[in-house]
Amino acid sequence: MKVAIYTRKSKFTEEGESIENQIKMCIKYSETMLEAAEYEIYEDEGFSGGNIDRPNFKKMMKDIKAKKFTHLICYRLDRISRNVADFTNTLETLNKYNCSFISIKEQFDTSSAMGRAMMNISATFAQLERETIAERIKDNLRELAKTGRWLGGPPPMGYSSIEVENNDIRGKSRKKHILKINPNEIEIVKLVFKLFIEHKSFQKVSGILENQGLYSRSGKVFSRELVKQTINNPIYVIADKKLFNFFKENGCENYEEIKINNLNGIMPYNRRKENGSFAPINNWIISVGDHPGIISSDLWIRCQTICKEIKQKASNRQCTSQEALLSGLIVCARCGSGMAPRQNKSGKYHYRYYSCNLRNKSASRCDNDALNAYDAEEYVVKYLKSLKAEDIIENYNKSKSANKIKLDNLKSISNYKKEIEENNKFISGLIKKMAIEEDEDLLQDYKKERKSLKARNAEIELIISDLELKNNSLTDIKESLDDILSAFDDFKKFFDYSDFNQQQQLIRGFVKFIIWDYESEFIDIILIGSDKKRPRPGEPFLPLSDSSRSSNYLKVKNIKLKIPKKKKGSRSRS
């Protein structure tokens, strides 16, 4: 019998049992009631019970599906989830894989019918409690909306937060925060709105601001996302009747209309969901704030109309993985970001392409051009078909050889670190001798020896740094050669007879990732079993020297993004 113990605690509260106490009680139950000496602990600290999107919970469920456990124990039912649907689905999964669930606090055990029934009832009440808390929070926000106060935290660009005192209805002195204009930033905010009306593009505004040397408060580039957040934020808008009518039409709760004076700005509440993402406009609670507005309602409403148009165009451009054969595989050589499939339309013609994710956010941060999807897919498939089993074996053996070098480097690093440790001990001994030595000649000898050892340590640090840098570009090979050859054989046999989804899977069966660089017109196909590690965003694959390439690189021309001319048999999945 092996037991999984799961614990969770939200970082937003100090109330309730700590992770450590939950673990102790679960272990005690496991040992005394189940007589199970073997258990594994999964902890998620700082995660809400509102959903099951938690790293160690997911890992545990994966292990349960692998039939590693006969029982799952937790301190209390809501440690699993406060959502009835999530809890019920989890319970069904446990039943499917013959894993009993035990909740210590409520004393529920799903090995009995009564235990399962009581568990579902309790889960329902847990969700009711969660929804009650959410409604209470919203009621509090409604009351706060009547005050128009700033709730704290970093103020938006263009404003500073100041603390003021005022008297409540009982005459008691109370402190609150209000916003005041920050003259160093407010003109940038006005410029953002002006440029957006002119160019109707978040990215163009971002590029213009960077070219003019204008940055955010933190000194970072005014990214596309930051421009969008600024444009969508109603805090800058001067409150008037037209604006309140706009919010009413969009389903917002409005308060303090009586305070409209065509001077003060809007104070929005409930703009974010529990997970931190922005809530739709019909969830907002709107009030008149104590701060001055800077943007007219006409201008802001026009901006929101443009935002809707941009969103509609973007949805037309989205190219799903159902339409892009190499989706999830292509990596930008310039910045290490993934290249997402997109599509566009010019006249009667649709064209698809892969575009760098970082460049999509800010054109100034990556200069890699988009890749024509039709030609890229054709080139890659043609090349993969041309490979032979001998090529796969040769690629694997080279990687295995590189993997041996990595292991040798690790041994060398360990030995060098031991040498530094020994040198440091020797230096400590020399320092003690120097403290009591009176003979000047011996003292000078000690100093020279200490200096020599410190120089050697500095030299070793450089060697270690170089070895670690080399190892960072390599990755451990987990796949067997037989598995890779089997995937390659499936590709050769079935690709031409498979549907689109199957073709995607056949390619991913033995292709690890693909590098694209527009300047050198270079596509490098990295096969599974290669020692090369997929770059992370911010880790460019450049310079594209011969040594950095795999044996599967293609030098191809004219596959940069271009609008394809109409031709017979032209493919289009759009």
Q: Beta strands 173-181 and 371-372: pairing type?
A: unpaired
Q: Does residue 381 carry a pLDDT above 50?
A: yes
Here the tokens at position 312 are 């509609």
Same fold, 2-141 and 159-312: no
Q: What is the mean pLDDT of residues 60-71?
A: 92
2-141 is a CATH 3.40.50.280 domain: no
- Three-state DSSP at 494 gives helix
> What pLDDT sits at residue 186?
92
Whether residue 137 has pLDDT greater than 70? no
Domain extent listing, the chain: 2-141, 159-312, 318-405+477-574, 406-472
> Which range (18-22, 143-147, 371-375, 491-495) has the least confidence?
143-147
Yes or no: say if 325 and 507 are a contact pair by the CB < 8 Å rule.
yes
For position 192, what pLDDT does the model report?
94
Residue 295: its pLDDT value, please? Answer: 93
Q: What pLDDT shows up at residue 304?
A: 93
Residue range 494-532, pLDDT digits in tens: 888 888 888 888 888 888 899 888 877 778 888 887 767
Please, which pLDDT band fits residue 553 given cuts at 50, 70 and 90? Answer: low
Q: Would the pLDDT of 33 be above 70?
A: yes
Tokens of 173: 């002195």
Q: Which residue has the higher pLDDT, 235 or 539?
A: 235
**111-136 tens-digit pLDDT:** 666 666 766 666 666 666 666 666 66
pLDDT in tens, 399-451: 665 566 666 777 788 888 888 888 888 888 887 777 777 788 888 888 888 88
569 or 177, greater pLDDT = 177
Q: Is the pLDDT of residue 57 over 90?
A: yes
Please, are residues 275 and 250 in contact by the beta-carbon 8 Å criterion?
A: no
User: pLDDT per residue over 316-370, tens digit each?
Assistant: 555 554 578 898 899 998 888 889 888 776 666 677 889 888 887 776 778 888 8
Share of the chain above pLDDT 90, in %: 14
- Residues 388-392 have a mean pLDDT of 82
| Residue 563: predicted pLDDT | 40
Mean pLDDT for the stretch of residues 184-196: 93
Per-residue pLDDT band at 227 (split at 50, 70, 90): very high
Q: Does residue 188 have a pLDDT over 90? A: yes
For residues 166 and 559, which has the higher predicted lDDT (pLDDT)? 166
Which of the four pLDDT bands, split at 50, 70 and 90, describes residue 77? Answer: confident
* Domain 159-312 in CATH 2.60.120.260: no
> What pLDDT shows up at residue 197?
94
Edge to edge, what strands does the sheet with 371-372 contain? 339-346, 349-356, 371-372
Whether pLDDT at 453 is above 90: no
Burial of 244 (0-12, 13-18, 19+ CB in 10 A): buried
Report the mean per-residue pLDDT for the chain.
Answer: 79
Give residue 8's pLDDT: 86
Q: Confidence class of residue 4 from pLDDT cuts 50, 70 and 90?
A: very high
**How many whole angstroms separate alpha carbon 204 and alpha carbon 360?**
11
DSSP code, position 153: S
Confidence of residue 171 (pLDDT cuts 50, 70, 90): low
Q: What is the CA radius of gyration of the chain?
A: 31
Beta strands of 231-281 (E only): which ranges?
A: 253-254, 264-269
